Structure 1
Amino acid sequence: PNGVNLVHPILPELVGRNLHDLQDRNGDYVIRNLLRLAGEGGGFHRYVWNKPSTGQDEDKLSYVVQLKRWPWMMGTGLYIDDIAKEVAKARKQVQRNVRNTFFTVLVVVAGTIVLVVLIGVAINVHEVRKADSRLQELAHKSVQFQVSERRRFARELHDGINQMMVSVLYRIEAAVSKLKQQGSAAEEDLERGHRTLKEAINEVRHISHDLRPSLLDDMGLKVAVNSLLMDFSERTGIDAELEYEITGARLPEDIEITFYRVLQEALANVERHSGADRVLVSGWHRDGVAWIEIRDNGRGFDTRRRLQGPGIGVCNMRERVELLSGICQIDSEPGRGTSVKVGLRPMFFSENCECDNG
């Protein structure tokens, strides 16, 4: 331990030199202190040393031990600025890893939240659709119940009250015939009663037909619509034509009665307001939706004004169609006629799967 340098991997010019009295710029006897630490069993020592890579004096931290078999000291060291750079590099890497991990966690959390929200929305949409489907089914059942009650009431009128009134009419006619033979003064009163009773019978028949057209029950929509158009033409002188392409199974009765009532209302509007001389009624089935259209060649109107008014007929048509979640489109322009188009999607078909071809 006399301070002679035996080996140096970076500065070979120091090999063989005695560095025992070497001092750094701070007056520290570097080799002496290192030899002392090695003799004490080894340790760290910080000093200033020339850094070969830069040629500048830098702080250095060395660790030395003494080789027991020889009176030699062996040591190694690191420059403090290199340690600082490595620590800074490691710190940046840690920060980068933390940041990447944070973003990864953030993306995972955001994805999870989005997934939960989408699942929630999907469940809500499903529930809304189920509720809407149940509401539509309830509306259909409500309309069918109304149809059933109207049919029952119409039959009661026709088979009960109407038959009783007809029976009374026959008795009055028989009494009038007998009084004519006898020349009674009661003949005139009976004639008046006879006329009033006939009017009442016709009114009951008219009410019964309006409540539920028997042709619609017995023959289907096509025949009922055709009969309605024939009566309309005879009464008004307006040419009415039918193009009916709904074939296959009969539509549910709530759909049929809705189409029939809309057609009645539309024809009434044509008669009262349009000034038309021709009406075309079309029926077809496309993409699961049954459609019917009433088109006339009348004077037409401005839909932006008229449809905002309190027209009872238009309101009735729309309410009937909306009750079954259908589509009601009214297109018209002044001088170009009017088109009323209604689309209804049958929820199910009636058990009577006979073709409605009339």
Structure 2
Amino acid sequence: MFATSKRIKSLLILPALLATLVLALGLLNLANRVYFQMTVGLFTVVISFCIFILAWNSRNFTENRSLTFLGAAYTSVGLLDMFHLIAYMGITGINDNSADQSAQFWIAARYVEGISLLLFTRIRNRNEYSTLFIYGIITFFFTVTILYWKVFPTCFIEGTGFTAFKRYSEYLISALLFVSLILILIRRKQFDLTFVIFLSAGILAKALSEIIIATFADVNGIMNFSAHIARAASFYLVYKAVIHDGLMEPFDIFAEDINEAKQEQLKAVEHIEGIVKQRTTELRETKEEHQLLTGKLLGLQEEELEHISNQLHHDITQRLGFLAIEIGKTQINAPNANISDLQENLARVNEVIGDLSNLTNNMSYQLHPTRLYELGLVEAVRYECKIQSFHYRDIDMRCQVENLPKRLPAKMAICVYRIIQESLRNACEHSGCSQIEVFFSDKPNTLTIEIRDNGSGFDPEKVNIKDHHCIGIALMRKRAALIRAKLDIITVPDKGTTVSLLVVKPEDKLKKSEAFYWE
């Protein structure tokens, strides 16, 4: 309710101000016609120069390049109108023929204005300095022809009034203005709608003013007053058009660009904040996983040490105790024993010593795979399959090799070996399979290793690092990432599992001391 009443008041203020202004000018015209015409003339001169100032200073940030042409044209119009005021009878007495000179400057200004508006829609990309220079030459030419050469056609004769040239020129100028109005309306899509409305209204007011002045000779009548009001309104409307297209619209576009930039910045900030939040969450989860993984590794280390301790205590200690007993018996019974009994006792001792040797070799190999360093990756994997087959006799293990290169960097080879070793252990301990196949496939730049089993498989989505049985998978992924290899675990419940490792071979040539042999 309050907003509506405020809008109504704002709409009523402008007509009230215009009515008051017209009334004041009317009273001034009744009191002193010369002052009235001088006031309107000064107003149009000031507006002309303001049009130039606005058009010239907005040329760098407006898309309407024709404004510079319009500003240069109204500079010439303003100067000629100013000379018209100076020469006007009653303002100053330059010479006895000042009334004719005043009318001549008037007609010159109107021709410049009419022709310029006619050319306005055609001239868009002319250099602004050359345009300003041309209008300076035009202004100088009219001034010289009127004041010094005195070759400009006579427009006013004392005792007779305005000449036919002056009246017909008014009609011709009106025709030029109407044609320019039509051209602007035809090419209205080249300009902003508000600019077209203001400029069209200004041209129409100018044309009506020229027709009234040419038609009604009485300079003291109401029609002459109306013509001057229309002329003042026409300059103001052109000024409004220039303000809108040269000042308001660029700043509106600039404000829209700023708002769009702000919105884009806000979106970018929100996007960055989302990324930072996501990365922070991922880092926190990764940190928790690393902490959990470290704890699991320490637990596995303790379990491995406990396993080694049990093997040392139960297997090796018991076998050493058995050896001590057998050797003690042999030593006691040696004086009275025959050769065959001694040989039998020594054979049992030798068998136990051989088992001890194999046991210690296996334990040593599990801790540090010497075959990897001595014989290469393939032989180390084959030996690992042999060890697992010894522990899991019901599982058939095979190792197939195809076009293998001769060597691989040491750090890469140990990581590949540990991944294969962990895959074999997981398959043997958890899959319930009856067959495991290790397959090596070499290509020019890559090496593919697959460990396949026909076991029960598992659901990858249910793999959780907190599960004790999944710690091995986490270690495999860490080792694959360490050598920048691609590790894929393809598994389907009850249909087996395939662990695929894609290793990108280094391009640099390796020294023999820096590599492990494959074969």
- TM-score category of the 2 structures, normalised to the smaller one: 0.5 to 0.7
Letter in 1 for 2:239: V
| CA apart distance, 1:218 | 0.8
Closer/same/farther in 2, CA of residues 113 and 348 from structure 1, 3 Å limit: farther
Pairing of 1:239-254 with structure 2 (within 5 A) = 239-245=396-402, 247-248=404-405, 250-254=407-411
Match of 2:439 among 282, 286, 289: 282
Match of 2:38 among 19, 35, 44: 44
The aligned residue for residue 414 of structure 2 is 257
The aligned residue for residue 239 of structure 2 is 87
Closer/same/farther in 2, CA of residues 174 and 255 from structure 1, 3 Å limit: same
| SS of residue paired to 1:284 | strand
Between the aligned partners of 1:311 and 1:246, the Cα distance in structure 2 is 38
The aligned residue for residue 160 of structure 1 is none
The aligned residue for residue 362 of structure 2 is 206
| SS of residue paired to 2:251 | helix
The aligned residue for residue 425 of structure 2 is 268
Pairing of 1:117-266 with structure 2 (within 5 A) = 180-183=333-336, 201-233=357-389, 236-245=393-402, 247-248=404-405, 250-266=407-423
CA deviations 1:282-323 (Å, max 9, x no partner) are 22356966442211223x234258734866454224214314
| SS of residue paired to 1:44 | helix
Letter in 2 for 1:44: M
| CA apart distance, 1:258 | 3.0
| SS of residue paired to 2:360 | helix
Tell me the TM-score normalised to structure 1 length: 0.53
The aligned residue for residue 70 of structure 1 is 96
Closer/same/farther in 2, CA of residues 68 and 308 from structure 1, 3 Å limit: closer
Closer/same/farther in 2, CA of residues 99 and 178 from structure 1, 3 Å limit: same
The aligned residue for residue 54 of structure 1 is none
Contact map agreement 2:464 2:470 (CA 8 A) in 1: no
| SS of residue paired to 2:407 | coil
Contact map agreement 1:327 1:342 (CA 8 A) in 2: yes
Contact map agreement 2:375 2:518 (CA 8 A) in 1: no
Letter in 2 for 1:89: A
Query: Identity over aligned residues, as a percent?
Result: 17
Letter in 2 for 1:82: S
| CA apart distance, 1:221 | 0.7
| CA apart distance, 1:220 | 0.9
The aligned residue for residue 147 of structure 1 is none
Contact map agreement 2:377 2:516 (CA 8 A) in 1: no
| CA apart distance, 1:71 | 5.7
The aligned residue for residue 496 of structure 2 is 337
Closer/same/farther in 2, CA of residues 271 and 87 from structure 1, 3 Å limit: closer
| SS of residue paired to 2:38 | strand
Letter in 2 for 1:266: S
Number of matched pairs: 270
Matched, 1:351 2:511: yes
Closer/same/farther in 2, CA of residues 201 and 310 from structure 1, 3 Å limit: farther
The aligned residue for residue 14 of structure 1 is none
Contact map agreement 1:328 1:341 (CA 8 A) in 2: yes
Matched, 1:99 2:252: yes
Between the aligned partners of 1:232 and 1:224, the Cα distance in structure 2 is 12
CA deviations 1:43-73 (Å, max 9, x no partner) are 92459xxxxxxxxxxxxx9832555442653
Letter in 1 for 2:96: W
The aligned residue for residue 4 of structure 1 is none
Letter in 2 for 1:98: F
Letter in 1 for 2:233: D
Letter in 2 for 1:85: L
| CA apart distance, 1:181 | 3.4
Closer/same/farther in 2, CA of residues 101 and 232 from structure 1, 3 Å limit: closer
CA deviations 1:135-161 (Å, max 9, x no partner) are xxxxxxxxxxxxxxxxxxxxxxxxxxx
| CA apart distance, 1:277 | 3.3
Matched, 1:301 2:457: yes
Which structure: greater strand fraction? Answer: 1
| CA apart distance, 1:328 | 4.0
Between the aligned partners of 2:424 and 2:29, the Cα distance in structure 1 is 118
| SS of residue paired to 1:229 | helix
| CA apart distance, 1:210 | 0.8
Alignment gaps of 5+ in structure 2: 1-24, 42-81, 107-227, 277-321
The aligned residue for residue 5 of structure 1 is none
Closer/same/farther in 2, CA of residues 258 and 246 from structure 1, 3 Å limit: farther
Contact map agreement 1:321 1:342 (CA 8 A) in 2: no
| CA apart distance, 1:174 | 8.8
Between the aligned partners of 2:326 and 2:414, the Cα distance in structure 1 is 38
Contact map agreement 1:281 1:292 (CA 8 A) in 2: yes
CA deviations 1:59-117 (Å, max 9, x no partner) are xx98325554426535467522112212211221221233345567788x77x979x99
The aligned residue for residue 134 of structure 1 is none
| SS of residue paired to 1:236 | coil
Q: Cα RMSD (Å) of the superposition?
A: 5.6
Between the aligned partners of 2:371 and 2:463, the Cα distance in structure 1 is 32
| SS of residue paired to 1:322 | helix
Contact map agreement 2:405 2:442 (CA 8 A) in 1: no
Between the aligned partners of 1:231 and 1:335, the Cα distance in structure 2 is 26
Between the aligned partners of 2:253 and 2:499, the Cα distance in structure 1 is 64
Alignment gaps of 5+ in structure 1: 1-23, 38-42, 48-60, 125-168
Contact map agreement 2:376 2:516 (CA 8 A) in 1: no
